[in-house]
Structure 1
Amino acid sequence: MADFKGILDRYGRPITKAALTVEQAAPTGSGVRRHDALHPAAGLTPGRLASVLRASIENDPENYLALAEDMEERDPHYAGVLGVRKRQVSGLDISVEAAGEDAASIAHADLVREVIERDGFEDELFDILDAVGKGFSCTEIVWDTSSGQWRPKRLAWRDPRWFVFDQMDGETPLLRDGGQNMPLNPYQWIYHSAKVKSGLPIRGGIARAVAWTFLFKSFTIKDWAIFCEAYGQPLRLGKYDAGASNDDKDILLKAVSNIGVDYAAIVPQSMTVDFIEAKISGTHQLYKERVDWLDQQVSKVVLGQTATTDAIAGGHAVGKTHDGVREDIEKADARQLAGTLNRDLARPLVDLNFGRQEKYPRIRIGRPEQIDTKALVDNVAKLVPLGLKVGMSTMRDRIGLPDPAEDEELLVPPRGPAPIEPPADAAQPPLKPGQTRQTVHSTATDSRDAVERAAEAMLGDWMPLVSPIVAGLEAEIAAASSVEDVKALLAKRFIGLDAAAMTELLANSAFAARLAGVTDETL
């Protein structure tokens, strides 16, 4: 286990080992950390909403955070689009890049990979992304040291109502504890602030923008319900004779009432019941259009578009166009989340197990790049012999291969055939006076056939024949003023060509190629 001496958090505070082994914000049966229910959405009015939003800025955010929770429960559309945004990011691919190629850097990265590959980590990311709606989230790291190493046992979501912000800067989160506001223990918290908009964290969540839409929509739905109740079914009118008794009237009233509930009733023959159709002077379409419009505004705020959530004209083409907007939001959320995890999870994990480091592994979140693996491998194979330096770990990450285990059997390149040596007692031609014998090794590297070798030899003999013709030809052609001048220039040059020697060279080459084909020579 690493020595904690000299390890500081991002605020410059030293790490306390004993504090990390106890949950700082565990729920309590009394005090402020209770899971009691506040429902400020009930009976919400414009005046009350304005008061709740104003109080949240003045360091009393409890009712605002409770309202944000209420809106997710009471508005199905808001809950749906917000859930899509959080699930889309929490379900993205996660990778870890080592800080270097040395064994220590690779061990640090493997430790971080071990943690993010735990079962349930994706759900924990979903909880961290609660900040998208409320502006911030505080997730407590519950450490496990049973094996002599520091490992997160779980990442516990904590109710945002249990936190306030420092009154001086408005950004440093503090834990409420019996009327006191306590700093969060170093290396024990993942604090995520979602930058949906610039400003203080308590004002940066989507819930603040959606709150007014939620209020207006609730009014519209109530009015819609009243309208449907008043005009959605016909009026049941009972008629009785002038001489009807009070008992007769009670029987008729009971029968008319039961028709609306049981759809059956009996009345004396002398009585009648008429169904009078409601004459609607307005239309219920107004309420539906207003609710749909409000839902579209919520979709724009949460997803940046409406085409993939609301039935609008344009169909598939509009949806494909708007997918780009959603991709921008996805990348921004993923980048912010990765930054938080690098600061509040990867670094503490490495420091607590290995001690303070100069560089740390980095967590990346996002869709994998579409890499042409074949082209990448081909380019690396060509450039490495020319001096290009490529890290093995980087290359494995790019092509999607994990680092091999220590005891894992490795693939190796096949061995080439050994050089062919002539037998020691093989008959060799006698040496001429002054000539020394040289041993020729035939290797597998020269895979050319006889025709290719003959072509190369011919090119070697060709150059002395054509060199006098082409010497200075390029400059003379550049100085020519017409095509006729170029033709005359070439004709003059070819006068000095040794045609007999050229003919003999071509004939010999053709004969050698024909002979190689007849004998099927390949080496």
Structure 2
Amino acid sequence: MASFRDWLGRIVLGKELMDQVADARVGSMRNPFSGHPADGMTPQRLASILRSAANGEPEAYFELAEDIEERDLHYAAVLATRKRSVSQLPITVKAASDSAEHKKHAALVQSWIDDGVLQSSLFDMLDAVGKGLSITEIDWQYRLGSMLPRDLTWRTQRWFTFDQADGETVLLREGVAGAPLAPHKFIVHRHKTKSGLTIRSGIARVACWAWMFKSFTIKDWAIFAQNYGQPIRVGRYGPGATEAQKDVLWRAVSSIAGDCAAIIPRDMLIEFIDVGSKASSTDMYERRADWLDRQISKLVLGQTTTTDAISGGHAVSQEHRLVQEDIERSDAMCLSGTVNLQLIPNIIAFNFGPQDHYPQVKIGRPDELPIKDFAEAFDKLAKHGLTADESFLQDRMGIPAPKKGAVLIGGRKPEPAPGGDPATPAVAKDQPAKPVHSSFKHLFQRSAHAQSEGDDVVDRLADRLERDAAGAMAGMVDEVKAALMQASDLRDAAERLSRLELAPDELAEAMARGMALAQLAGQASLLDDLKG
């Protein structure tokens, strides 16, 4: 098997990468079968387990953390919710730079992520949320010219311990003191609920106390329900009853229902003292168990309303959901850091050699506005001149570019080319005209040849001016009308009019002649009035 260089330039044999290291072995220190320290748990025993873990012997603590996750319904539910909220997040890859070589590196990582190996392992890696750390063994395989992790196998924390020298270095349980982890074979993900030693930073260390008190409460509740949930049977026998008769009486009362039964001589008395209202006593057990569940919700999810139906309304629930999203982002960032530090550099180094910079993997949702808010904001700003590339909008809205020949829905209707027939604008019959078009159309509804009422002289002058200016006006009016009818708004209309090259010389000459004739006609009319 060929050798490879890791991201630090050290030579690694391919056989060492492909062999399993932390596998289960019956009869060894890596026993596949776990103990159950939660059986018969007492406060003294729990304190002893936690103290031993803090002093460097964490096996019993890891077994207890797994036990309470199996026994407590609420703890198992909220912890799984927290892990699943991160394990289903999208995973993206960012190249180290825009160079072709770095993009090639990122493409290899993205191709491996698309295989789903990392996504399916995130839930197991997040086991560190409860226990402080999780350990995953990498199964490297060489296929089709690439050395890539083909499987990430979760290994139980019971098979590992910590170096007594620093309390942090993870060792494989092997021999007396433990063996160092094989290079490039393990991903050790650490999750810190608080600062300090890793073994003391998991939330199970705090949750186990609430679990123990809750288990006491539920046990007392069960005894209470058994004692007061059904009647007590008392059998009485006479002074001459034989042992056989007593046995028959005992079988009779004990067979009626449950274990709360007794037999006594007829001349003896048993008094049952009621300590108070049974309803209030029952409520005490329930309220205590619910209170402990709420504390676990706060510990794991940071809030309570997403798991418990309490008063506060929709607004409070939304605020508490934001708290859960903050925790989700923090968990995803921590997980991304582990993958980028312990896995991605070796994927690139084994296939392309050591590099100065490596691609970055990001686990989490993009920090973007919701699609509804984005669409509404862009719709409002576009009316004030904001523009954006069509491909960006399609990517942001999740709408792929249409394929050639596809049936399209939506979009703008094609507009007539400049200089086209203005009498037939390219507007669908069922599409209402735009307000600006309506205004321009109304402007030209009046005929250019319309005449006002007046005396004959004015009519003749108007006719003369109309004939002289008809040719000059025809071309100018048609060009202006075409520009206005094609405009989408007033700004566009102004820009189109500014680009027109009109020839007003003929119109100016016709207007000058018309004004001269009008002046002469006015003078003649004045002389006629004076003579009269």
TM-score in terms of structure 2 length:
0.67
Is 1:54 the counterpart of 2:51? The answer is yes
**Partner SS for 1:192:** strand
Letter in 2 for 1:318: V
Find the aligned partners of 1:144 and 1:24 in 2 and give their Cα distance.
15
Corresponding residue of 1:512: none
Name the residue aligned to 2:188. Answer: 191
2:27 equivalent to 1:30: yes
Which of 258, 276, 279 is 1:281 aligned to? Answer: 276
- Residue 230 of structure 1 and its aligned partner are, at CA, apart by 2.2
For 1:349 and 1:400, the matched residues in 2 are separated by 31
1:113-139 residue CA offsets vs partner (Å, 9 max, x unmatched): 222222464331100000000000110
Distance 1:360 1:312 in 2: 48
C-alpha change, 1:3 and 1:129, in structure 2 (3 Å) is same
Distance 2:65 2:45 in 1: 14
Q: State the match for 1:342 in structure 2.
A: 340
Are the structure 2 counterparts of residues 353 and 2 from structure 1 closer, same or farther at C-alpha, using a change threshold of 3 Å?
A: farther
Deviation of 1:242 (Å): 5.4
- Structure 1's unaligned 5+ residue stretches are 264-270, 385-391, 403-407, 410-419, 421-446, 463-500, 509-523
The reply on whether 1:86 has 2:83 as its aligned counterpart is: yes
The 3 A distance-change label for structure 1 pair 111 and 277 is farther
Residue 233 of structure 1, aligned match among 223, 230, 233: 230
Matched to 2:171, the amino acid is L
Post-superposition offset of 1:100:
2.3
2:3–2:12 CA contact under 8 A, matched in 1: no
Partner in structure 1 of residue 319 of structure 2: 321
- Cα 1:228–1:105, aligned 2, differ >3 Å: closer, same or farther? same
Give distance in 2, aligned partners of 1:75 and 1:357: 48
1:297 aligns with 2:303: no
Q: TM-score normalised to the size of structure 1? A: 0.68
Opposite residue 218 of structure 2, the aligned amino acid is I
Any conservation in 1 of the 2:2–2:13 contact (CA below 8 Å)? no
Which position in structure 1 is the counterpart of 2:148? 151
Change (3 A) 1:229 1:359: same
* CA distance 1:395–1:60, shift in 2 (3 Å): farther
1:30-429 pair list within 5 angstroms: 30-119=27-116, 121-241=118-238, 244-260=241-257, 279-281=274-276, 283-368=281-366, 369-370=368-369, 372=374
Alpha-carbon separation, structure 2, partners of 1:106 and 1:396: 23
- Contact 1:41/1:71 (8 A) holds in 2: yes
Give secondary structure in 2 for the equivalent of 1:4.
strand
Per-residue deviation at 1:211? 1.6
- The equivalent of 1:8 in structure 2 is 8
Task: Quickly say closer, same or farther: Cα 1:357–1:312, change in 2 above 3 A.
Answer: same
Closer, same or farther: CA 38–54 of 1 in aligned 2, 3 Å: same
Aligned CA distance change for structure 1 residues 145 and 241 (closer, same or farther; 3 Å): same
Counterpart of 1:8, as a letter, is L
Q: Which residue type is aligned with residue 191 of structure 2?
A: A
Give the whole-Å Cα distance in 2 for the aligned partners of 1:155 and 1:457: 67
Inter-CA distance 383–47: structure 2 relative to 1 (3 Å threshold) = same
Amino acid corresponding to residue 297 of structure 1 in structure 2? Q
Structure 1 segments of 4+ aligned residues over 6 angstroms from their partners: 381-384, 394-402, 449-454, 457-462
1:472 aligns with: none
**Paired amino acid for 1:77:** H
Q: How far is the alpha carbon of 1:84 from its aligned partner?
A: 0.5
Q: Taking structure 1 as reference, are residues 104 and 57 closer, same or farther at Cα in structure 2, changes over 3 Å only?
A: same
| Equivalent in the alignment of 1:487 | none
Write the deviation string for residues 258-312 of structure 1: whole angstroms up to 9, x where unpaired: 111599xxxxxxx9xxxx9984525122111111111111110000011111232
Deviation at 1:146, TM superposition (A): 3.9
State the partner residue of 2:472: none
User: Structure 1 pair 453/14, CA: closer, same or farther in 2 (3 Å)?
Assistant: closer
Distance 1:123 1:16 in 2: 27
Counterpart residue identity of residue 155, structure 1: L
User: What displacement does 1:375 show?
Assistant: 5.4
- Against the structure 1 CA distance between its residues 362 and 217, is the aligned structure 2 distance closer, same or farther, given a 3 Å change threshold? same
SS at match of 1:228: helix
- Contact 1:236–1:256 (8 Å) recurs in 2: yes
Instruction: Give, as a single letter, the amino acid of the residue that structure 2 aligns with 1:213.
Output: A
Matched positions, count? 413
| Residue 450 (structure 2) aligns with | none
> What do the CA deviations read for 1:4-58 (whole angstroms, capped 9, x no partner)?
347428xxx7644432121121222232112122111112222221111111121
Contact between 1:2 and 1:351, CA under 8 Å: does it hold in 2?
Answer: no
Structure 2 unmatched runs, 5+: 261-265, 405-418, 420-481, 486-492, 516-532
Specify whether residues 258 and 397 from structure 1 end up closer, same or farther in structure 2 by C-alpha distance, changes over 3 A only. Answer: same
Within 2, Cα distance between the matches of 1:398 and 1:185?
44
- What is the CA distance between 1:458 and its match in structure 2? 9.1
